[in-house]
Amino acid sequence: MTTIDIFSGFLGAGKTTLIKKLIAEGYQNEKLVLIENEFGEIGIDGGFLKDAGVAVTEMNSGCICCSLVGDFGKALEKVLQEYHPDRIIIEPSGVGKLSDVIAAVQKLTSDEVQLGSFVAVADAGKTKLYMKNFGEFYNNQLENASAIILSRTQSLTQDKLEAAVELVRTKNPHATIITTPWDDLTGEQILAALKPGQTMAETLLEETKHAHEGTCGCGHHDHDHEHHHDDHGCCHGHHEEDDNCCGHHHGEDEQHFHEGTCGCGHHDHEHEHHHDDHECCHGHHEEDDNCCGHHHGEDEQHSHEGTCGCGHHDQEHEHGEHHHEHGESCTCGCHDEGHHHADEVFTSWGFESPRKYTKAELEFCLNALDEGVYGMVLRAKGIVPAADGTWLHFDYVPAEYEVRTGAADVTGRLCVIGADLKQEALAQLFKKEC
Amino acid sequence: MAVPVYLFTGFLEAGKTKFIQETLEDDQFGNGDKTLILLCEEGGEEYNPKAFAANNNYIVTVEEQEQLTTAFLKECEKKYHVDRVLIEYNGMWMTEPLFEAMPKNWEVYQEIMIADSTTFQSYLNNMRQLMVDKLQGAEMVIFNRCTPQTDKALFHRAVRMVNRRAEMAFERTDGSVDYDDIVDELPFDLSGDAFTVEDTDFGLWYLDALDHPEKYKGKTVTFKAYVCLSGKAPRGSFIAGRFCMTCCADDITFIGFITKYDKVAQLEERQWVDVSAKIAYQYHPIYEGDGPVLTVQTLTPAQAPKEELVYFS
Is there a single domain that holds both residue B164 and residue B247? no
Say if residue B170 is in the same domain as residue B95.
Answer: yes
Beta carbons of A129 and B119 less than 8 Å apart = no
Q: Is the pLDDT of residue A401 over 80?
A: yes
- Model confidence at A71, in pLDDT bands (50, 70, 90)? low
Domain with residue B209: its CATH number is 2.40.50.140
Q: Looking at the structure, tell me whether residues B173 and B278 fall in a common domain.
A: no
DSSP-derived 3-state class of residue B139: coil
A2-194 maps to which CATH number? 3.40.50.300
Question: Closest Cα partner for B255 from B268, B267, B240?
Answer: B240
The 10s digit of each residue's pLDDT in B147-176 is 999 999 999 999 998 898 899 999 999 989
Q: For all residues of chain A together, what is the average pLDDT?
A: 71
Q: Is residue B185 included in any domain, yes or no?
A: no
The domain containing residue B145 runs over which residues? 3-179
**Residue at a domain's end among B134, B149, B179:** B179
Q: Kindly determine whether residue B248 and residue A61, on different chains, have CB atoms separated by under 8 Å.
A: yes
The DSSP line for B171-200 is EETTS-EEE--PPPPPSS--SSSEEE--GG
Q: B12 or A308: whose pLDDT is higher?
A: B12
At the topology level, CATH places domain A345-431 in Hypothetical Protein Yjia; Chain: A;domain 2 (3.30.1220)
Question: Distance (Å, rounded) from C-alpha A312 to C-alpha A64?
Answer: 64
Q: Are residues B128 and B168 in the same domain?
A: yes
Whole-angstrom CA distances from A58 to A10, A55, A92, A281, B246 are 18, 10, 10, 50, 20
Residues B175 and B300 in one domain: no
The shortest C-alpha distance from B112 to chain A (Å) reads 20
Closest CB to B130 among A64, A93, A132: A64
Is residue B246 domain-shared with residue B150, that is, in the same domain? no
User: d(Cα A10, Cα A135) in Å, to the nearest integer?
Assistant: 12
The pLDDT, as a whole number, for residue A43 is 54
User: Which among A63, A94, A134 has CB closest to B128?
Assistant: A63
Question: Percentage of chain A surpassing pLDDT 70?
Answer: 61
Mean pLDDT taken over chain B? 92
**CATH code where residue B39 lies:** 3.40.50.300
The predicted model scores a pTM of: 0.71
Chain segment B222-256, per-residue pLDDT in tens: 999 999 998 888 899 999 999 998 776 767 889 99
Query: Has residue B140 got a pLDDT over 90?
Result: yes
Q: Do B92 and B165 lie in a common domain?
A: yes
Angstroms from B269 CA to nearest CA on chain A: 30
- The residue among B13, B42, B126, B250 with the most chain A CBs within 10 A of its CB, best to mutate, is B126
- pLDDT tens digit string along B257-285? 999 999 999 999 999 999 999 999 999 98
For residue B76, what is the enclosing H or E element? Answer: helix B70-80
In a domain, B188, yes or no: no
> Please, which residues 245-274 of chain B have a Cβ atom closer than 8 Å to chain A?
247-251
Is the Cβ pair B128, A133 closer than 8 Å? no
- Predicted local distance difference test score (pLDDT) of residue A350: 87
Closest CA to A263 of A241, A293, A285: A293
pLDDT of A343:
52
CB of B92 within 8 Å of any CB in chain A?
Answer: yes
